[in-house]
């Protein structure tokens, strides 16, 4: 709908703004693919950044609904943070291509790939994308391990400082404060889950493995036979058998996964279904990484206590 009159009016309005020197310093425009990465970016960037997440907290990060507004957001970004390891393969590449923004091109200081510093779990030896497999480069759901959050926060601080050197000291101080708090909270979370070390759980997708490893939980089965492949009756029978044999009493799902499938398995095994979103903001009072982890650890401790 842009005609020349509208353009002239818009240009006139822009020119009517005061000169750049008298405006407050512009914040770095940071775009994260998912709300968990956005939450970490806010911790590190503080007052020097304006952070937007493309995916909603209730969306599966593998299958985000791509919108034209995402292209505009990416076009204006100074920094893009992605999970990487093909987490966003199904939706991000075409948006990036349309956004035509060299600041966030592969290899630019404004492009952060969270997986780059993380020790990846479950790198497959065989892989068939045609069957719907989605974890080609290993498991990309690594943020629920606080040690990984620390690694990624450091990567963010490094890139932010390169893109906005005048705020480098602020990013460094924010990172230090984040790390100090994280170390204290990690000890607290470990203490909370210590009584349940070795607890056997089942998850819908392979999305709680890093959390399980950090806190000594044992994921004995997943409802999906392979990441991205829908549960089948034959696989359900196998899962039910394993759960009965090993005494797994808790099934973890995220809000976008099929609750009915989990409930059917729970009925046949005497287990409980626990819905836990990994994304900040999917539930009230979980907008920061710390609030989210408090909620996850607290919910798990309650579920294990009741299942005993
Ligand atoms: Zn996945």
In 3-state terms, the chain is what percent helix, strand and coil (to 5)?
A: 50, 10, 40
pLDDT band at 131, cuts 50/70/90?
A: confident
**Are 242 and 267 in contact, with CB atoms under 8 Å apart?**
no
Q: From the CA of 192, how far away is ligand 1's center (Å)?
A: 27
- Token readout for 49 is 């950044």
H/E stretch holding 237 reads helix 233-246
CATH of domain 18-180: 3.40.50.1980
Residue 130: per-residue pLDDT: 76
Lowest mean pLDDT among 43-47, 63-67, 121-125, 245-249: 121-125
Residue 293: per-residue pLDDT: 98
Instruction: Give CA angle at 90 (85, 95), nearest 5°.
Output: 100
Residues of the chain within CATH 3.40.50.1980 domain(s) are 18-180, 187-307
Q: From the CA of 222, how far away is ligand 1's center (Å)?
A: 12
Q: From the CA of 297, how far away is ligand 1's center (Å)?
A: 21
Q: From the CA of 233, how far away is ligand 1's center (Å)?
A: 21
Q: What is the pTM of this model?
A: 0.90
CATH of domain 187-307: 3.40.50.1980
What CA–CA distances, in Å, run from 27 to 45, 138, 180, 220, 256?
10, 34, 25, 46, 33
Q: From the CA of 189, how far away is ligand 1's center (Å)?
A: 24
Q: From the CA of 8, how far away is ligand 1's center (Å)?
A: 48
Q: From the CA of 213, how far away is ligand 1's center (Å)?
A: 16
Cα–Cα nearest to 58, from 30, 88, 36, 85 = 36
Q: From the CA of 200, how far away is ligand 1's center (Å)?
A: 20
Q: From the CA of 181, how far away is ligand 1's center (Å)?
A: 28
**What is the pLDDT averaged over residues 213-219?**
98
Q: From the CA of 171, how far away is ligand 1's center (Å)?
A: 30
Cα–Cα nearest to 228, from 261, 206, 259 = 206
Q: What is the largest CA-CA distance in the chain?
A: 74
Helix (H, G, I), strand (E, B) or coil at 220: strand
**What is the pLDDT averaged over residues 154-183?**
98
Instruction: Provide the mean pLDDT of the chain.
Output: 92
Residues, the chain = 308
For 259-272, give the secondary structure using H, E and C.
HHHHHHHHHHHCCE
Tell whether the torsion through CA atoms of 229, 235, 238 and 244 is positive or negative: positive
pLDDT band at 23, cuts 50/70/90?
A: low
**What is the pLDDT averaged over residues 131-137?**
85
Q: From the CA of 87, how far away is ligand 1's center (Å)?
A: 7
H/E stretch holding 112 reads strand 111-113
- Token readout for 125 is 């030896």
Q: From the CA of 63, how far away is ligand 1's center (Å)?
A: 10
Any alpha helices (H) in 51-121, and if so which ranges? 68-75, 92-99
Query: What is the 8-class DSSP label of residue 114?
Result: G
């Amino acid at each position: 709908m842009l005609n020349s009159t509208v353009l002239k009016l818009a240009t006139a309005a822009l020119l009517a703004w005061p000169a750049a020197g008298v405006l407050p310093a512009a914040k770095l425009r940071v775009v994260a693919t998912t709300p968990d990465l956005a939450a970490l970016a806010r911790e590190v960037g503080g007052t020097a950044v304006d952070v937007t997440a493309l995916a909603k907290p209730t969306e599966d990060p593998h299958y985000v609904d791509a919108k034209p507004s995402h292209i505009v957001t990416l076009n204006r970004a100074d920094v893009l943070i992605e999970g990487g390891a093909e987490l966003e393969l199904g939706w991000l590449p075409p948006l990036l291509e349309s956004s035509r923004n060299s600041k966030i091109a592969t290899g630019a200081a404004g492009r952060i790939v969270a997986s780059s510093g993380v020790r990846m779990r479950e790198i497959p030896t065989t892989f068939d994308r045609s069957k719907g497999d989605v974890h080609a480069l290993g498991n990309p759901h690594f943020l629920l391990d606080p040690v990984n959050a620390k690694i990624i926060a450091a990567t963010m601080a490094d890139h932010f400082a390169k893109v906005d050197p005048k705020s480098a000291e602020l990013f460094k101080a924010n990172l230090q404060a984040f790390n100090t708090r994280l170390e204290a909270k990690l000890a607290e979370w470990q203490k909370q889950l210590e009584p349940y070390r070795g607890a056997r759980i089942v998850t819908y997708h392979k999305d709680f493995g890093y959390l399980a490893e950090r806190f000594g939980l044992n994921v004995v089965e997943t409802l999906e036979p392979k990441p991205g492949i829908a549960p089948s009756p034959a696989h359900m029978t196998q899962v039910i058998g394993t759960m009965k044999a090993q005494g797994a009493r808790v099934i973890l799902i995220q809000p976008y996964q099929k609750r009915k499938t989990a409930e059917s398995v729970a009925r046949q095994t005497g287990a409980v279904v626990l819905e836990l979103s990994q994304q900040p903001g999917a539930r009230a009072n979980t907008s920061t990484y710390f609030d989210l982890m408090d909620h996850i650890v607290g919910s798990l401790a309650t579920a294990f206590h009741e299942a005993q």
